[in-house]
Amino acid sequence: MPDITSKQPSSEKQITRVNRRHFLQAGGAALALGGLSANLYAAAKEQRKRVGLIGAGWYGKSDLWRLIQVAPVDVVSICDPDQHMLAEAVEIASQRQLSHKEPHRYNDYRQMLAEKDLDIVLIGSPDHWHALQAIAAVEAGADVYVQKPISVDVLEGEAMLAAARQHGRVVQVGTQRKSTPHLIDVKQRVVEAGLLGTIGHVEMCCYFHMRANGNPPVQPAPDFLDYEMWTGPAPLRPYDGLPHKRWWRTFMEYGNGIMGDMCVHMLDTARWMLGLGWPKRITSTGGIYVQKDGKSNIADTQTATFEFDHFNAVWQHRSWGDPPDPEYPWALFIYGDKGTLKASTMRADFIPHDKNAKPLRFECVYEREQYPEDLTEKDIELNAAPATRRHMRDFLEAVEKRSRPVADIEEGHISTASCILANCSMGLGGRPLRYDAQERVVVDDDEATALLSRAYREPWKRPS
Protein backbone atom coordinates (compact mmCIF):
# COMPACT_ATOMS: atom_id res chain seq x y z
CA MET A 1 0.00 0.00 0.00
CA PRO A 2 1.25 3.54 -0.67
CA ASP A 3 2.27 5.74 2.22
CA ILE A 4 -0.23 8.19 3.64
CA THR A 5 0.52 11.79 2.74
CA SER A 6 2.60 13.22 5.55
CA LYS A 7 1.09 15.88 7.76
CA GLN A 8 2.66 17.02 10.98
CA PRO A 9 0.38 17.00 14.03
CA SER A 10 -0.48 20.38 15.49
CA SER A 11 1.52 21.52 18.50
CA GLU A 12 0.05 20.76 21.92
CA LYS A 13 0.45 22.27 25.35
CA GLN A 14 3.14 20.68 27.47
CA ILE A 15 1.86 18.41 30.18
CA THR A 16 2.24 20.21 33.50
CA ARG A 17 0.82 17.56 35.73
CA VAL A 18 1.39 13.85 35.31
CA ASN A 19 -0.77 11.07 36.69
CA ARG A 20 2.05 8.63 37.36
CA ARG A 21 -0.12 5.54 37.63
CA HIS A 22 -1.83 6.45 34.35
CA PHE A 23 1.47 6.69 32.45
CA LEU A 24 3.02 3.58 34.01
CA GLN A 25 -0.17 1.65 33.36
CA ALA A 26 -0.56 2.78 29.76
CA GLY A 27 3.13 2.67 28.92
CA GLY A 28 3.72 -0.74 30.45
CA ALA A 29 0.71 -2.24 28.75
CA ALA A 30 1.70 -0.66 25.45
CA LEU A 31 5.13 -2.24 25.55
CA ALA A 32 3.81 -5.57 26.81
CA LEU A 33 1.22 -5.83 24.04
CA GLY A 34 3.35 -4.45 21.26
CA GLY A 35 1.57 -1.12 20.97
CA LEU A 36 3.35 2.25 20.91
CA SER A 37 7.13 1.96 20.85
CA ALA A 38 9.06 3.46 23.77
CA ASN A 39 10.15 6.47 21.71
CA LEU A 40 6.68 7.13 20.35
CA TYR A 41 5.16 6.79 23.79
CA ALA A 42 7.69 9.26 25.21
CA ALA A 43 6.77 11.68 22.43
CA ALA A 44 3.08 11.20 23.17
CA LYS A 45 3.68 12.23 26.78
CA GLU A 46 5.19 15.49 25.59
CA GLN A 47 2.34 16.37 23.24
CA ARG A 48 -1.22 15.50 24.09
CA LYS A 49 -3.57 14.90 21.21
CA ARG A 50 -6.75 16.96 21.19
CA VAL A 51 -9.71 14.59 20.93
CA GLY A 52 -13.39 14.94 20.09
CA LEU A 53 -16.13 12.34 20.38
CA ILE A 54 -19.20 12.20 18.13
CA GLY A 55 -21.86 9.92 19.59
CA ALA A 56 -21.82 9.65 23.38
CA GLY A 57 -23.79 6.42 23.65
CA TRP A 58 -22.60 3.12 25.03
CA TYR A 59 -19.77 2.32 22.63
CA GLY A 60 -18.76 5.87 21.90
CA LYS A 61 -18.03 6.39 25.57
CA SER A 62 -16.40 2.98 25.83
CA ASP A 63 -13.97 3.81 23.01
CA LEU A 64 -13.15 7.17 24.59
CA TRP A 65 -12.45 5.63 28.01
CA ARG A 66 -10.13 3.06 26.42
CA LEU A 67 -8.24 5.84 24.62
CA ILE A 68 -7.87 7.82 27.85
CA GLN A 69 -6.48 4.69 29.53
CA VAL A 70 -3.63 4.32 27.03
CA ALA A 71 -2.68 7.91 26.15
CA PRO A 72 -2.56 11.31 27.88
CA VAL A 73 -5.06 12.97 25.57
CA ASP A 74 -7.11 16.15 26.02
CA VAL A 75 -10.80 15.51 25.45
CA VAL A 76 -11.75 18.87 23.98
CA SER A 77 -15.31 18.30 22.80
CA ILE A 78 -18.19 15.81 22.84
CA CYS A 79 -21.21 15.88 20.55
CA ASP A 80 -24.57 14.15 20.89
CA PRO A 81 -28.19 15.17 20.16
CA ASP A 82 -29.30 13.60 23.46
CA GLN A 83 -28.52 16.15 26.17
CA HIS A 84 -28.74 13.56 28.95
CA MET A 85 -26.18 11.27 27.34
CA LEU A 86 -24.02 14.25 26.48
CA ALA A 87 -24.03 15.51 30.07
CA GLU A 88 -23.10 12.09 31.42
CA ALA A 89 -20.21 11.73 28.98
CA VAL A 90 -18.88 15.22 29.75
CA GLU A 91 -18.99 14.56 33.47
CA ILE A 92 -17.14 11.23 33.24
CA ALA A 93 -14.59 12.63 30.79
CA SER A 94 -13.76 15.47 33.18
CA GLN A 95 -13.18 12.91 35.93
CA ARG A 96 -11.03 10.61 33.82
CA GLN A 97 -8.81 12.92 31.83
CA LEU A 98 -5.64 14.39 33.32
CA SER A 99 -6.71 18.03 33.12
CA HIS A 100 -10.12 17.37 34.74
CA LYS A 101 -11.52 20.00 32.38
CA GLU A 102 -15.04 19.62 31.05
CA PRO A 103 -15.12 19.12 27.27
CA HIS A 104 -17.16 21.55 25.19
CA ARG A 105 -20.69 20.32 24.42
CA TYR A 106 -22.21 20.18 20.96
CA ASN A 107 -25.55 19.09 19.59
CA ASP A 108 -24.41 19.32 15.93
CA TYR A 109 -21.13 17.69 14.86
CA ARG A 110 -20.70 20.28 12.10
CA GLN A 111 -20.33 23.04 14.68
CA MET A 112 -17.82 20.96 16.61
CA LEU A 113 -15.69 20.23 13.54
CA ALA A 114 -15.88 23.86 12.36
CA GLU A 115 -13.58 24.78 15.25
CA LYS A 116 -10.78 22.77 13.57
CA ASP A 117 -9.15 22.29 16.95
CA LEU A 118 -9.05 18.48 16.99
CA ASP A 119 -6.24 16.06 16.16
CA ILE A 120 -8.41 12.94 16.63
CA VAL A 121 -12.14 12.35 16.25
CA LEU A 122 -13.84 9.22 17.59
CA ILE A 123 -17.14 8.34 15.92
CA GLY A 124 -19.52 6.19 17.94
CA SER A 125 -22.82 7.35 16.45
CA PRO A 126 -25.39 4.99 14.86
CA ASP A 127 -24.38 3.47 11.53
CA HIS A 128 -26.42 5.85 9.35
CA TRP A 129 -24.20 8.74 10.49
CA HIS A 130 -20.75 7.22 10.04
CA ALA A 131 -20.03 8.30 6.47
CA LEU A 132 -20.98 11.97 6.74
CA GLN A 133 -19.26 12.43 10.09
CA ALA A 134 -16.05 10.59 9.17
CA ILE A 135 -15.70 12.49 5.90
CA ALA A 136 -16.34 15.82 7.63
CA ALA A 137 -13.74 14.95 10.28
CA VAL A 138 -10.97 14.14 7.80
CA GLU A 139 -11.84 17.27 5.83
CA ALA A 140 -11.39 19.22 9.08
CA GLY A 141 -7.86 17.80 9.38
CA ALA A 142 -8.44 15.12 12.02
CA ASP A 143 -7.43 11.49 12.13
CA VAL A 144 -10.44 9.27 12.77
CA TYR A 145 -11.43 6.19 14.75
CA VAL A 146 -14.83 5.12 13.38
CA GLN A 147 -16.97 2.30 14.64
CA LYS A 148 -17.98 -0.58 12.42
CA PRO A 149 -19.76 -1.02 10.10
CA ILE A 150 -18.29 2.02 8.43
CA SER A 151 -21.38 2.75 6.33
CA VAL A 152 -24.97 1.78 5.57
CA ASP A 153 -24.42 1.45 1.83
CA VAL A 154 -21.51 0.51 -0.41
CA LEU A 155 -20.92 3.87 -2.09
CA GLU A 156 -20.77 5.65 1.28
CA GLY A 157 -17.83 3.39 2.08
CA GLU A 158 -16.16 4.20 -1.23
CA ALA A 159 -16.52 7.92 -0.47
CA MET A 160 -15.03 7.46 3.02
CA LEU A 161 -12.02 5.62 1.62
CA ALA A 162 -11.50 8.26 -1.07
CA ALA A 163 -11.71 11.10 1.47
CA ALA A 164 -9.19 9.45 3.81
CA ARG A 165 -6.70 9.00 1.00
CA GLN A 166 -7.28 12.44 -0.52
CA HIS A 167 -6.70 14.23 2.78
CA GLY A 168 -3.91 11.94 3.98
CA ARG A 169 -5.65 11.02 7.23
CA VAL A 170 -5.33 7.89 9.35
CA VAL A 171 -8.67 6.13 9.74
CA GLN A 172 -8.93 3.16 12.07
CA VAL A 173 -12.12 1.05 12.07
CA GLY A 174 -13.45 -0.49 15.27
CA THR A 175 -13.00 -4.07 14.08
CA GLN A 176 -10.85 -4.81 17.11
CA ARG A 177 -10.68 -8.58 16.68
CA LYS A 178 -7.42 -7.79 14.87
CA SER A 179 -6.16 -6.45 18.19
CA THR A 180 -7.62 -9.20 20.39
CA PRO A 181 -4.64 -10.79 22.21
CA HIS A 182 -5.73 -14.45 22.10
CA LEU A 183 -6.76 -14.16 18.43
CA ILE A 184 -3.40 -12.66 17.51
CA ASP A 185 -1.84 -15.66 19.24
CA VAL A 186 -4.14 -18.01 17.30
CA LYS A 187 -3.23 -16.40 13.99
CA GLN A 188 0.48 -16.86 14.66
CA ARG A 189 0.52 -20.27 16.34
CA VAL A 190 -2.18 -22.04 14.34
CA VAL A 191 -2.93 -20.35 11.02
CA GLU A 192 0.50 -18.99 10.08
CA ALA A 193 2.20 -22.07 11.54
CA GLY A 194 0.30 -24.21 9.04
CA LEU A 195 -1.36 -26.43 11.63
CA LEU A 196 -4.65 -26.37 9.71
CA GLY A 197 -3.10 -27.69 6.52
CA THR A 198 -5.06 -26.97 3.36
CA ILE A 199 -8.07 -24.82 4.23
CA GLY A 200 -11.25 -25.83 2.44
CA HIS A 201 -14.10 -24.14 4.27
CA VAL A 202 -14.91 -21.31 6.70
CA GLU A 203 -18.04 -20.87 8.78
CA MET A 204 -19.17 -17.85 10.80
CA CYS A 205 -22.22 -17.50 13.02
CA CYS A 206 -24.16 -15.51 15.57
CA TYR A 207 -26.96 -17.02 17.64
CA PHE A 208 -27.37 -14.25 20.21
CA HIS A 209 -30.94 -13.28 21.02
CA MET A 210 -30.06 -9.69 20.23
CA ARG A 211 -32.90 -8.62 17.93
CA ALA A 212 -34.98 -6.07 19.83
CA ASN A 213 -38.64 -6.56 19.05
CA GLY A 214 -41.78 -4.95 20.40
CA ASN A 215 -44.61 -2.53 19.73
CA PRO A 216 -44.01 0.59 21.83
CA PRO A 217 -46.52 3.39 21.20
CA VAL A 218 -45.76 6.45 19.09
CA GLN A 219 -45.19 9.43 21.38
CA PRO A 220 -43.70 12.93 21.35
CA ALA A 221 -39.91 13.06 21.41
CA PRO A 222 -38.59 14.33 24.77
CA ASP A 223 -37.22 17.86 25.04
CA PHE A 224 -33.71 16.61 25.79
CA LEU A 225 -33.44 14.70 22.47
CA ASP A 226 -33.11 16.45 19.13
CA TYR A 227 -34.79 13.66 17.20
CA GLU A 228 -34.43 15.45 13.86
CA MET A 229 -30.68 15.67 14.36
CA TRP A 230 -30.45 12.11 15.66
CA THR A 231 -32.21 10.89 12.50
CA GLY A 232 -30.20 13.04 10.11
CA PRO A 233 -30.01 11.53 6.60
CA ALA A 234 -32.05 8.44 7.51
CA PRO A 235 -35.82 8.14 7.04
CA LEU A 236 -37.72 9.83 9.87
CA ARG A 237 -39.54 7.07 11.71
CA PRO A 238 -42.37 8.00 14.08
CA TYR A 239 -40.77 8.42 17.49
CA ASP A 240 -41.62 5.48 19.76
CA GLY A 241 -39.08 5.74 22.56
CA LEU A 242 -35.38 6.39 22.99
CA PRO A 243 -33.56 4.71 20.09
CA HIS A 244 -30.36 4.10 22.05
CA LYS A 245 -28.76 0.72 22.67
CA ARG A 246 -30.56 -2.06 20.80
CA TRP A 247 -33.70 -0.32 19.53
CA TRP A 248 -32.23 1.53 16.55
CA ARG A 249 -30.34 -1.58 15.46
CA THR A 250 -33.60 -3.45 14.90
CA PHE A 251 -34.49 -1.22 11.92
CA MET A 252 -32.94 -1.30 8.46
CA GLU A 253 -33.44 2.48 8.23
CA TYR A 254 -30.34 2.93 10.40
CA GLY A 255 -28.12 -0.03 9.63
CA ASN A 256 -27.88 -3.47 8.05
CA GLY A 257 -29.28 -5.74 10.72
CA ILE A 258 -27.36 -8.52 12.41
CA MET A 259 -25.47 -9.09 9.16
CA GLY A 260 -24.02 -5.58 9.28
CA ASP A 261 -23.56 -5.56 13.04
CA MET A 262 -22.08 -8.98 13.81
CA CYS A 263 -21.02 -10.68 10.57
CA VAL A 264 -18.78 -7.74 9.76
CA HIS A 265 -16.61 -8.64 12.78
CA MET A 266 -16.26 -12.32 11.94
CA LEU A 267 -15.82 -11.82 8.20
CA ASP A 268 -13.17 -9.20 8.89
CA THR A 269 -11.43 -11.60 11.28
CA ALA A 270 -11.47 -14.41 8.70
CA ARG A 271 -10.10 -12.08 6.03
CA TRP A 272 -7.34 -10.88 8.37
CA MET A 273 -6.35 -14.37 9.51
CA LEU A 274 -6.34 -15.84 6.00
CA GLY A 275 -5.14 -12.84 3.97
CA LEU A 276 -8.32 -12.45 1.93
CA GLY A 277 -9.48 -9.50 -0.17
CA TRP A 278 -12.85 -8.95 -1.81
CA PRO A 279 -15.10 -12.01 -2.17
CA LYS A 280 -15.52 -13.06 -5.80
CA ARG A 281 -19.24 -13.55 -5.40
CA ILE A 282 -21.83 -13.12 -2.63
CA THR A 283 -25.16 -14.87 -2.17
CA SER A 284 -27.62 -14.61 0.71
CA THR A 285 -31.10 -15.74 1.71
CA GLY A 286 -33.18 -15.18 4.81
CA GLY A 287 -35.87 -13.05 6.34
CA ILE A 288 -38.21 -12.77 9.33
CA TYR A 289 -39.18 -16.39 9.88
CA VAL A 290 -39.99 -16.60 13.59
CA GLN A 291 -40.10 -13.23 15.38
CA LYS A 292 -42.99 -11.65 13.46
CA ASP A 293 -44.86 -9.93 16.28
CA GLY A 294 -43.06 -6.60 16.71
CA LYS A 295 -41.96 -3.59 14.67
CA SER A 296 -38.48 -4.90 13.93
CA ASN A 297 -37.74 -5.16 10.21
CA ILE A 298 -34.30 -6.81 10.27
CA ALA A 299 -33.91 -10.50 9.43
CA ASP A 300 -34.16 -12.91 12.35
CA THR A 301 -32.64 -15.68 10.20
CA GLN A 302 -30.04 -15.30 7.45
CA THR A 303 -27.42 -17.31 5.60
CA ALA A 304 -24.77 -15.77 3.35
CA THR A 305 -22.02 -17.32 1.24
CA PHE A 306 -18.88 -15.32 0.46
CA GLU A 307 -16.94 -17.05 -2.32
CA PHE A 308 -13.15 -16.77 -2.35
CA ASP A 309 -10.60 -18.43 -4.66
CA HIS A 310 -10.17 -21.74 -2.83
CA PHE A 311 -13.09 -21.96 -0.42
CA ASN A 312 -16.34 -20.41 0.68
CA ALA A 313 -16.97 -18.52 3.91
CA VAL A 314 -20.55 -19.11 5.08
CA TRP A 315 -22.40 -16.95 7.61
CA GLN A 316 -25.47 -18.00 9.59
CA HIS A 317 -27.43 -16.04 12.16
CA ARG A 318 -30.58 -16.78 14.12
CA SER A 319 -31.91 -14.50 16.84
CA TRP A 320 -34.00 -17.36 18.23
CA GLY A 321 -33.36 -20.96 19.27
CA ASP A 322 -30.10 -22.42 20.56
CA PRO A 323 -26.57 -22.39 19.12
CA PRO A 324 -25.26 -25.74 17.86
CA ASP A 325 -22.08 -25.21 19.90
CA PRO A 326 -22.94 -23.49 23.22
CA GLU A 327 -19.30 -22.48 23.77
CA TYR A 328 -19.25 -20.67 20.42
CA PRO A 329 -22.52 -18.76 19.90
CA TRP A 330 -20.77 -15.92 18.01
CA ALA A 331 -17.78 -17.38 16.31
CA LEU A 332 -15.50 -18.24 13.42
CA PHE A 333 -14.67 -21.81 12.36
CA ILE A 334 -11.84 -22.58 9.93
CA TYR A 335 -11.66 -26.11 8.54
CA GLY A 336 -8.42 -27.56 7.18
CA ASP A 337 -7.41 -31.08 6.24
CA LYS A 338 -5.12 -31.22 9.29
CA GLY A 339 -7.43 -29.70 11.85
CA THR A 340 -10.21 -27.33 12.81
CA LEU A 341 -10.00 -23.92 14.46
CA LYS A 342 -12.85 -22.55 16.56
CA ALA A 343 -12.46 -18.89 17.54
CA SER A 344 -14.53 -16.28 19.35
CA THR A 345 -14.04 -13.16 21.43
CA MET A 346 -13.94 -15.34 24.55
CA ARG A 347 -11.70 -18.27 23.58
CA ALA A 348 -10.30 -20.39 20.77
CA ASP A 349 -9.64 -24.10 20.22
CA PHE A 350 -7.44 -25.88 17.70
CA ILE A 351 -8.56 -29.48 17.24
CA PRO A 352 -6.01 -31.52 15.24
CA HIS A 353 -7.20 -34.21 12.85
CA ASP A 354 -4.40 -36.47 14.11
CA LYS A 355 -5.73 -37.92 17.35
CA ASN A 356 -2.18 -38.27 18.64
CA ALA A 357 -1.50 -34.54 18.28
CA LYS A 358 -2.19 -32.16 21.14
CA PRO A 359 -5.18 -29.80 20.96
CA LEU A 360 -4.53 -26.14 21.74
CA ARG A 361 -6.72 -23.92 23.90
CA PHE A 362 -6.54 -20.11 23.92
CA GLU A 363 -8.29 -18.05 26.59
CA CYS A 364 -9.43 -14.46 26.52
CA VAL A 365 -6.95 -12.02 28.06
CA TYR A 366 -8.30 -9.75 30.80
CA GLU A 367 -6.41 -6.83 32.34
CA ARG A 368 -8.15 -6.40 35.67
CA GLU A 369 -4.94 -5.83 37.61
CA GLN A 370 -3.53 -3.23 35.21
CA TYR A 371 -6.87 -1.44 34.85
CA PRO A 372 -8.89 -1.95 38.04
CA GLU A 373 -11.27 0.83 37.00
CA ASP A 374 -12.66 -1.62 34.43
CA LEU A 375 -14.36 -3.50 37.24
CA THR A 376 -16.58 -0.57 38.18
CA GLU A 377 -17.30 0.90 34.74
CA LYS A 378 -20.94 0.84 33.73
CA ASP A 379 -21.79 -1.47 30.80
CA ILE A 380 -18.17 -2.34 30.05
CA GLU A 381 -17.40 -5.42 27.95
CA LEU A 382 -14.53 -6.76 30.05
CA ASN A 383 -13.46 -9.25 27.41
CA ALA A 384 -13.30 -6.54 24.72
CA ALA A 385 -11.51 -3.85 26.75
CA PRO A 386 -7.95 -5.21 26.24
CA ALA A 387 -8.56 -5.53 22.50
CA THR A 388 -9.86 -1.97 22.22
CA ARG A 389 -6.91 -0.62 24.22
CA ARG A 390 -4.50 -2.39 21.89
CA HIS A 391 -6.52 -1.14 18.90
CA MET A 392 -6.19 2.42 20.21
CA ARG A 393 -2.43 2.01 20.64
CA ASP A 394 -2.13 0.76 17.08
CA PHE A 395 -4.18 3.77 15.92
CA LEU A 396 -1.96 6.20 17.84
CA GLU A 397 1.19 4.64 16.43
CA ALA A 398 -0.18 4.98 12.90
CA VAL A 399 -1.00 8.63 13.66
CA GLU A 400 2.56 9.26 14.83
CA LYS A 401 4.17 7.40 11.90
CA ARG A 402 1.60 8.56 9.29
CA SER A 403 1.12 4.91 8.34
CA ARG A 404 -1.78 2.52 7.90
CA PRO A 405 -3.33 1.07 11.07
CA VAL A 406 -4.18 -2.60 11.44
CA ALA A 407 -7.89 -1.92 10.75
CA ASP A 408 -7.37 0.64 8.00
CA ILE A 409 -10.44 2.17 6.37
CA GLU A 410 -9.91 0.13 3.19
CA GLU A 411 -10.10 -3.16 5.08
CA GLY A 412 -13.12 -1.90 7.00
CA HIS A 413 -14.77 -0.95 3.73
CA ILE A 414 -14.27 -4.39 2.16
CA SER A 415 -15.73 -6.17 5.19
CA THR A 416 -18.62 -3.71 5.55
CA ALA A 417 -19.51 -3.63 1.86
CA SER A 418 -19.43 -7.42 1.62
CA CYS A 419 -22.05 -7.66 4.36
CA ILE A 420 -24.18 -4.96 2.73
CA LEU A 421 -23.99 -6.83 -0.58
CA ALA A 422 -25.19 -9.97 1.21
CA ASN A 423 -28.29 -8.03 2.29
CA CYS A 424 -28.75 -6.81 -1.27
CA SER A 425 -28.60 -10.39 -2.51
CA MET A 426 -31.20 -11.45 0.06
CA GLY A 427 -33.46 -8.61 -1.04
CA LEU A 428 -33.15 -9.74 -4.66
CA GLY A 429 -34.29 -13.26 -3.91
CA GLY A 430 -30.84 -14.69 -3.22
CA ARG A 431 -29.22 -14.13 -6.59
CA PRO A 432 -25.39 -14.06 -6.69
CA LEU A 433 -23.72 -10.64 -6.83
CA ARG A 434 -20.24 -9.79 -8.11
CA TYR A 435 -19.04 -6.34 -7.08
CA ASP A 436 -16.47 -4.51 -9.21
CA ALA A 437 -14.68 -2.18 -6.79
CA GLN A 438 -12.91 -0.36 -9.63
CA GLU A 439 -16.05 0.47 -11.58
CA ARG A 440 -18.25 0.55 -8.44
CA VAL A 441 -20.99 -1.54 -9.99
CA VAL A 442 -22.46 -4.98 -9.53
CA VAL A 443 -21.36 -6.79 -12.67
CA ASP A 444 -24.14 -7.30 -15.22
CA ASP A 445 -26.85 -6.37 -12.73
CA ASP A 446 -28.30 -2.87 -12.99
CA GLU A 447 -30.95 -3.61 -10.38
CA ALA A 448 -28.32 -4.58 -7.80
CA THR A 449 -26.10 -1.63 -8.78
CA ALA A 450 -29.00 0.69 -7.93
CA LEU A 451 -28.92 -0.73 -4.39
CA LEU A 452 -25.33 0.39 -3.80
CA SER A 453 -26.56 3.75 -2.53
CA ARG A 454 -29.50 4.78 -0.36
CA ALA A 455 -31.50 7.95 -0.72
CA TYR A 456 -30.82 10.64 1.89
CA ARG A 457 -33.54 12.59 3.65
CA GLU A 458 -33.55 16.30 2.80
CA PRO A 459 -31.67 18.53 3.34
CA TRP A 460 -28.79 16.07 3.83
CA LYS A 461 -26.66 15.39 0.76
CA ARG A 462 -24.83 12.18 -0.07
CA PRO A 463 -21.02 12.35 -0.21
CA SER A 464 -19.70 12.10 -3.76
Q: In this structure, what CATH number is given to the domain that contains residue 143?
A: 3.40.50.720
CA-CA distance, 265 to 162, in Å (whole number)? 22
pLDDT at 37 over 80: no
Please give the residue range of the domain that contains residue 130.
Answer: 20-177+381-409
Cα torsion angle, 120, 126, 131, 132, sign: negative
How are strands ordered across the β-sheet holding 171-173?
104-106, 74-79, 50-54, 120-123, 143-146, 171-173
Note the pLDDT of residue 46.
57
Domain assignment present for 461: no
Inter-helix orientation angle 38-46/385-401, to 10°:
80
* Same domain for 185 and 173: no
CA-CA distance, 446 to 242, in Å (whole number)? 38
Tell me which of 21-30, 35-44, 297-306 is least confident: 21-30
CA-CA distance, 123 to 66, in Å (whole number)? 14
Q: What is the rounded average pLDDT of the residues 440-456? A: 98
* Same domain for 194 and 326: yes
Residue of 279, 213, 224, 220 lying closest to 251 (CA atoms): 213
* Same domain for 311 and 339: yes
Note the pLDDT of residue 434.
98
* Same domain for 283 and 252: yes
* Same domain for 43 and 161: yes
Residues linked to residue 54 through DSSP beta bridges, in sequence order: 79, 123
* Same domain for 327 and 196: yes
Note the pLDDT of residue 33.
40
Note the pLDDT of residue 245.
83
Domain assignment present for 418: yes
Residue of 412, 413, 409, 405 lying closest to 435 (CA atoms): 413
Say what percent of the chain tops pLDDT 70: 90
* Same domain for 327 and 206: yes
* Same domain for 73 and 32: yes
Q: Is 22 exposed, middle or buried (0-12, 13-18, 19+ CB in 10 A)?
A: middle
pLDDT at 20 over 80: no
pLDDT at 244 over 50: yes
* Same domain for 199 and 129: no
Note the pLDDT of residue 11.
32
* Same domain for 166 and 315: no
Note the pLDDT of residue 47.
81
pLDDT at 457 over 70: yes
* Same domain for 160 and 200: no
CB 239 within 8 A of CB 227: yes
DSSP, res 323: -
Q: What is the rounded average pLDDT of the residues 354-377? A: 95
Domain assignment present for 354: yes
* Same domain for 336 and 245: yes
Q: What is the rounded average pLDDT of the residues 388-413? A: 98
Which helix (H) or strand (E) segment holds residue 162: the answer is helix 154-167
Note the pLDDT of residue 146.
98
pLDDT at 140 over 90: yes
Q: Indicate the number of domains in the chain.
A: 2
Find the CATH number of the domain harbouring 338: 3.30.360.10
Domain assignment present for 12: no
Domain assignment present for 155: yes
Tell me which of 10-14, 63-67, 289-293 is least confident: 10-14
Residue of 424, 416, 463 lying closest to 441 (CA atoms): 424
Q: What is the rounded average pLDDT of the residues 290-306? A: 98
Domain assignment present for 11: no
